[in-house]
Amino acid sequence: MKSTFSIIFYLKRQVVKKDGTLDKMRVSISKHYQEIMDRDNFVTADKVKNAFLGLEYRCHTLMKVYFQSRDEMEKQYKAGIKSLSSFTRYRIGCAYVGEFLQSHYHVKDIALKELSLPFITDYETFLRTEKHLKINSAMVFVRNLRAMVFRAIDNEWLVKDPFRRYEYKEEETTREFLTKEEIRLLMEIPITRKKMSMVRDLFLFCCFTGLAFIDLYNLKEENIKTFFDDGEWIIIHRQKTGTEADIKLLDYPKQIMEKYRGLCEDGRVFPVPNYKSCMDSLKRLGKKCGITKPLSWHMRSHNKIFY
């Protein structure tokens, strides 16, 4: 990603002119080179050529995608849609990549098309050796980089996926999950408080479908489809992974969905409270049911139920 610069002219001797044309071109090319260097911190021959010919386009860069994603995550956190931990992960991930670019490539930003497998593996090594992260923690920020690539590909800012040959490395960990009995307690416990009852319903809906909180929040009527089997299915692109999920609705989550349908005017299925409010209610609900495990929305992905 280092930049070198030289100008070589190939002259057509039969049409040599004495009007200083070459000097003007050299000055113009040098000016474009410096402008691109000041702006993007790296230069390619194509960028200088396009700028000189008036065909330049402002290429999309990695840090711009990070800044956009971080700012959007901050807005969602302040609106109660995202958790503080999610926003913090994006904020720290943005800082880590910026530090990595400075320390390893001596630039503040790079074009998305410069991303490659060696860049990813070097970033992983940076996280392990210079930030002293354990492998699973390092993978959190590698996946954060992957999310930026998803965003770029979805917006057609990037064509090739630099992660296509990357292999994730993780250590097995013991994850908390709810037992069938604990799920039954949540389903059957009598609740008089309207808000806690709704949070209970929303949490159980996610346990039965495997949806994340943000996917629950974004779930719209257009995501509910009826297929040849006459059953209702959720068809949704998960925000975290960017992949499509096809989930058949069982009777219990269908009952929950019908209970709240029509309460939102913007097409969403559920009037989901903000994340912090839901977590506070969920913790109180766990105590009410006598569940000693700290309930969290992340548990829902380890409790997808098939009754």
Task: Say which CATH number the domain at 223 has.
Answer: 1.10.443.10
Domain end, chosen from 17, 37, 58, is at 58
Domain match, 122 and 24 both: no
Q: pLDDT digits over 47-71, tens only?
A: 777 666 654 445 688 999 999 999 9
* Residue-level pLDDT at 39: 65
Strand-pair partners of 232? 226
Domain match, 184 and 294 both: yes
Domain match, 191 and 291 both: yes
* Residue-level pLDDT at 93: 94
160 in any annotated domain: no
307 in any annotated domain: no
297 in any annotated domain: yes
125 in any annotated domain: yes
87 in any annotated domain: yes
31: number of Cβ within 10 Å: 12
The predicted model gives 88-98 an average pLDDT of: 93
How far is residue 23's CA from residue 180's CA, in Å, rounded to a whole number? Answer: 80
Amino acid found at 108 = K
Least confident of 127-131, 155-159, 187-191, 299-303: 299-303
Domain match, 205 and 266 both: yes
Domain match, 277 and 238 both: yes
How far is residue 240's CA from residue 13's CA, in Å, rounded to a whole number? Answer: 61
In this structure, are residues 300 and 216 in contact, taking their beta carbons and an 8 Å threshold? no
Residue 2, token pair as written in the block: 């280092």
**Class of residue 11 by CB neighbours under 10 A (exposed 0-12, middle 13-18, buried 19+):** exposed
Domain match, 185 and 248 both: yes
Domain match, 241 and 287 both: yes
Its pTM stands at: 0.52
Domain match, 286 and 202 both: yes
State the Cα angle at 220 between 216 and 224, rounded to 5°: 100
169 in any annotated domain: no
Domain end, chosen from 154, 170, 194, is at 154
* Residue-level pLDDT at 301: 46
Domain match, 33 and 45 both: yes
Average pLDDT, the chain: 83
Confidence tier at 1 by pLDDT (50, 70, 90): very low
In this structure, are residues 49 and 26 in contact, taking their beta carbons and an 8 Å threshold? no
Domain match, 75 and 43 both: no
10 in any annotated domain: yes
Spacing of C-alpha 152 from chain mean position = 10
* Residue-level pLDDT at 60: 81
* Residue-level pLDDT at 242: 60
Whole-number Cα distances in Å, 306 to 35, 208, 238: 60, 7, 20
The predicted model gives 273-300 an average pLDDT of: 84
Domain match, 286 and 187 both: yes
* Residue-level pLDDT at 95: 95
* Residue-level pLDDT at 296: 79
In this structure, are residues 300 and 206 in contact, taking their beta carbons and an 8 Å threshold? yes
With a cut of 70, say whether residue 80 has pLDDT above it. yes
Domain end, chosen from 139, 154, 169, is at 154
252 in any annotated domain: yes
Q: Which domain holds residue 110?
A: 62-154
- Please count the structural domains in the chain: 3
Q: pLDDT digits over 235-277, tens only?
A: 887 766 666 778 888 899 999 999 998 888 888 999 998 888 8
Domain match, 140 and 75 both: yes
With a cut of 60, say whether residue 300 has pLDDT above it. no
Question: How many residues in the chain?
Answer: 307
Find the largest Cα–Cα distance for the chain: 95
Least confident of 15-19, 34-38, 192-196, 286-290: 15-19
* Residue-level pLDDT at 129: 94
